Structure 1
Amino acid sequence: MRQREMCAFPRTQAIRRLAAVALLTLVAALAGCAGQRAGSSSGGSAVVEIPRGVAIESRLVERGGGIPSQGDVAPDFAFTFANGETRRLSDLRGAKVVVNFWATWCAPCEEEMPDLQRLDERSDVVVLGVNRLELPEVIIPFARERNLTFTLIANPDGDIVERYGAKNIPISYFINSDGTIGYRQLGIMTFDRMQEQVDRLR
């Protein structure tokens, strides 16, 4: 069934991650503050355009133990955009939040993206897409090609992914405005299902 579809993480992704560390450093170093553009001083070089919603770094703030469940306070994490702005999940207290774990190679995750984009356009909810172990230079073209504007967070170290138990993806956490977890969804969702769970949040 569609709501049960999930992807498992391929082992070759770790090799890709190591191979691309140098490029991540270059993107971060060249990122411009105002337009979040990265480029080189030589005239003919390509320009890397970083979509506004892509956070190029992230880290777990609250370590703890065990996979969080309904009623628990959602483990806090920080994410940094190319312009240097850093935010935390806990900064969003007072708003309903959906934290979705995904990857570019995961077909069910990609299928879910347009509906997550629609959901983020609601005024009463914030959607955060935490990527599973991929680097920003993989996430950036994916977001740009699909016109995704909600926040997509690179987590190549996997600390946030591990803390939330996102072994199989997609998996989504629906978080109440007080920061507690209201619901956890394993597998792909329809837009109606997303809206239903958001409407149940406090």
Structure 2
Amino acid sequence: MKRIIICVVLLGMLGYAVFSFITDGENEARNQEEQQEFGLEVGKVAPDFELQTMKGEFVQLSDYRDEIVMLNFWATWCVPCQREMPDLEKLYQNTDIKILAVNLIETETKYDDILNFAEDNSLTFPILLDNGEQATDLYHILSVPTTYLIDEKGVIQYRAFGQIDYDTMLKEYKKVKGSS
């Protein structure tokens, strides 16, 4: 009878140790995810925001987890932005990247300027309107264009202050695509 009790106790202890090992691993992974640092530097999780598209839909940056995103802050009056937009459209057409072009609407003369610019340049990616400068403030945008390349986990992998060309966009996209 003693042997049976000892075996039951030992099996119980072994079962608890296995259970504890498994749940500790799951908890550690969950804690690491929760402790990811948010920030604007490469290697940090991009801060989330919700903005309205020109079509009236609301989107959040976090809606695009599991996809590579190029987040671009721009304005119609910005000459480097004007030069950069055709390259963004070309990248959007030639890859599976998601582009979110955040227009600094508070700096525009009128809404129609954005609409006309998008039509004149045949832009097909989503244009988000930063009413109230929510994303502009969150990302500390001081000049446009400003661009962030964000991986599938929401982590910033590249950022640029100023105009970037198609070759640079494609090169940085391929780096992120190749590492995932």
**What is the TM-score with the length of structure 2 in the denominator?**
0.70
Which has the larger share of helix? 2
In 1: Cα distance, 2:54 partner to 2:150 partner: 26
Amino acid in structure 2 at the alignment position of 1:76: D
Q: Is the 8 A contact 1:109 1:169 kept in 2?
A: yes
User: Offset of 1:162 from its aligned partner?
Assistant: 1.6
Residue 147 of structure 1 aligns to a residue in which SS? coil
Corresponding position of 1:193: 168
| Residue in 1 that maps onto 2:129 | 154
Q: Structure 1 residue 82: deviation in Å? A: 5.8
Larger Rg: 2
Correspondence list, 1:1-202, <5 A? 68-81=40-53, 84-132=56-104, 133=106, 134=108, 136-201=111-176, 202=180
Which amino acid letter does the alignment assign opposite residue 140 of structure 2?
G
RMSD value over aligned CA atoms? 1.8
**1:73 maps to amino acid:** V
Residue number in structure 1 paired with 2:18: none
- Aligned in 2, Cα 1:182/1:137: closer, same or farther, shift over 3 Å? same
Q: Percent identity?
A: 36
**In 2: Cα distance, 1:113 partner to 1:169 partner:** 12
TM-score (norm 1): 0.63
How many angstroms does 1:67 deviate by? 5.8
Aligned mates of 1:193, 1:161 — CA distance in 2: 24
Residue ranges of structure 1 left out of the alignment (5+ in a row): 1-65
Matched AA of 1:105: W
What code does the residue aligned with 1:167 have? L
